[in-house]
Amino acid sequence: MPVIDKRLVPEQKGSKYPAAFAEPCRERRFRRLGEAGGLTRLGVSECILPPGAWSSQRHWHAEEDEFLWVLEGELVLVTDEGETTVRAGDCAAFPAGERNGHCLQNRSDAPARILAMSNRSDTDWGEYPGLDLTFAPGRYSGQGGYLHRDGTPY
């Protein structure tokens, strides 16, 4: 059946970032709704950001388009251009290959909820502007990982 009962989709918490970069995302919670529906080419996740939590470190993707839709709450969208407050109903899009590092930060006193969507590319790679952090292809096959800018693994 194509209907997904999101209550049955396991909730995950935190990130897989190396320890030096994990703290801002420690309380982030998410459900991989697309995977629960059997999707292999489209990533769809519900992400809940408690006060103080970040969606990710500021990053960009070489081969994945990203679309973010704020469902509840108020967040600060941080990009290379600066900061923008986004609220329920607001959306943001980041085309693949556009080197515009971005993340969402919850600086409010209430939880926020977003729907994040992207095409899934196992050859995708990207960078985290301002950090000694990149990610290598292979996230979906389990072959990828986090690297220093010089290419050495964490």
- Specify the pLDDT at position 2: 86
Residue 60: both structure tokens together: 């960009």
Query: What domains lie within the chain, and their CATH numbers?
Result: 6-123 (2.60.120.10)
Q: Amino acid identity, residue 10?
A: P
pLDDT of residue 141: 84
The pTM score is: 0.94
Give pLDDT tens digits for 77-116: 999 999 999 999 999 999 999 999 999 999 999 999 999 9
The answer to whether 48 and 112 have CB atoms below 8 angstroms apart is yes
Low-confidence ranges of the chain (pLDDT < 70): 1
Residue 1, pLDDT score: 59
